């Protein structure tokens, strides 16, 4: 992995942790997700038009296989967004986020190595393991899993569900940009447009809830809609040149930023555990960059 690719993933991680913090504060449900999808379509539409002005063939010449992957990605992303917001509604940010971000890259890395034939060295495998272990420590370790309160159980359930969705869309999208050669910005925008189509019936059945959600959280919706696509486009760009099994766990450095936000902004505790988790993640990053 080159330093440029590394920098792209780290920047994406910071942006990702930032918009997830805003999503937690918003604590919205399906209407929040729907409004975000439409906001991305409106805000990023002009950007994609300018990008595609001199390369229209990248849009008009999409094959049937490429469209199938785009549709599948859109469906998985909807499931991811709904599971994530449900988790934030019913459990703590400090549980849902790290469990989701820990299980996702672990599954995605295994799939990329086993089914996509990506090479893995002993050092990079240890790096992946160290990053996932660091995330587990940041999430509260075995204590979090032993906590049987309804809120804790909800955090584990929805965090793991979100993680499974992350693994699915990471594998699908990584294959799409690396092997099907779909441009990252195009994949992100078209998938979002498809999500808007799939979720549009809610405009007829949940009009009052949607109005209330916009009135309550429009600032969060606009900000998240601006920055969240940037984070994922950077990750997809990194996947074009680096192994998915490396990018997937490396992007979870966002947990370091999430831990910092938790201490400084949400007044969370467990500083010692977070320091250990951070150290494990740094060791993992070194392992992934080792040549």
- pLDDT surpassing 60 at residue 6: yes
Residue ranges making up the domain that contains 266: 3-289
CA distance 106 to 228: 22
pLDDT of residue 100: 80
Q: Which of 170, 137, 156, 139 is nearest to 250 (CA)?
A: 170
CA distance 191 to 195: 6
What's the rounded mean pLDDT across residues 68-85?
90
What's the rounded mean pLDDT across residues 35-49?
94
* Tens digit of each residue's pLDDT (9 = 90 or more) over 96-124: 777 787 777 777 777 777 777 777 778 87
* Tens digit of each residue's pLDDT (9 = 90 or more) over 139-198: 666 676 676 778 777 877 888 899 899 889 989 999 999 999 999 999 999 999 998 998
Q: What average pLDDT does the structure give for the chain?
A: 83
Number of domains in the chain: 1
Percent pLDDT > 70 in the chain is: 86
**What DSSP string describes 29-52?**
-HHHHHHHHHHHHHHHHHHHHHHH
23, 83 in Cβ contact below 8 A? no
Read off the pLDDT band of 70 (50, 70, 90).
very high
**Residue 224 vs residues 84, 109, 135, 168, 173: alpha-carbon distances, Å:** 14, 27, 24, 22, 21
Q: Which of 36, 32, 5 is nearest to 228 (CA)?
A: 36
pLDDT of residue 144: 64
Instruction: Describe the chain by its helix, strand, coil percentages, rounded to 5.
Output: 85, 0, 15
């Amino acid at each position: 992995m080159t330093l440029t690719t590394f920098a792209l993933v780290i920047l994406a991680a910071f942006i990702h942790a930032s918009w997830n913090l805003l999503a937690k504060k918003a604590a919205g449900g399906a209407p929040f997700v729907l409004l975000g999808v439409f906001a991305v379509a409106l805000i990023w539409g002009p950007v994609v038009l300018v990008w595609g002005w001199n390369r229209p063939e990248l849009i008009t010449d999409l094959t049937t296989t490429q469209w199938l992957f785009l549709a599948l990605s859109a469906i998985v992303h909807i499931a991811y967004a709904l599971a994530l917001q449900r988790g934030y509604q019913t459990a703590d940010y400090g549980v849902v986020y790290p469990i989701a971000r820990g299980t996702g890259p672990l599954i995605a890395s295994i799939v990329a190595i086993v089914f996509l034939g990506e090479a893995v060295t002993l050092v990079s495998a240890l790096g992946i393991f160290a990053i996932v272990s660091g995330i587990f420590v940041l999430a509260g370790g075995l204590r979090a899993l032993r906590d049987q309160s309804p809120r804790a159980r909800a955090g584990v359930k929805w965090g793991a569900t979100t993680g499974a969705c992350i693994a699915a869309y990471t594998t699908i999208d990584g294959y799409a940009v690396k092997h099907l050669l779909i441009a990252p910005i195009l994949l992100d925008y078209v998938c979002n447009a498809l999500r808007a189509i799939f979720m549009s019936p809610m405009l007829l059945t949940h009009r009052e809830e949607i109005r209330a959600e916009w009135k309550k959280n429009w600032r969060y919706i606009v900000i998240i809609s601006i920055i969240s696509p940037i984070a994922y486009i950077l990750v997809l760009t990194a996947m074009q040149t680096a192994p998915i099994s490396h990018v997937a766990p490396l992007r979870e450095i966002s947990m370091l930023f999430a831990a910092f936000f938790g201490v400084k902004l949400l007044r969370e505790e467990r500083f010692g555990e977070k320091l250990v988790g951070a150290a494990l993640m740094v060791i993992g990053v070194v392992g992934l960059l080792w040549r």
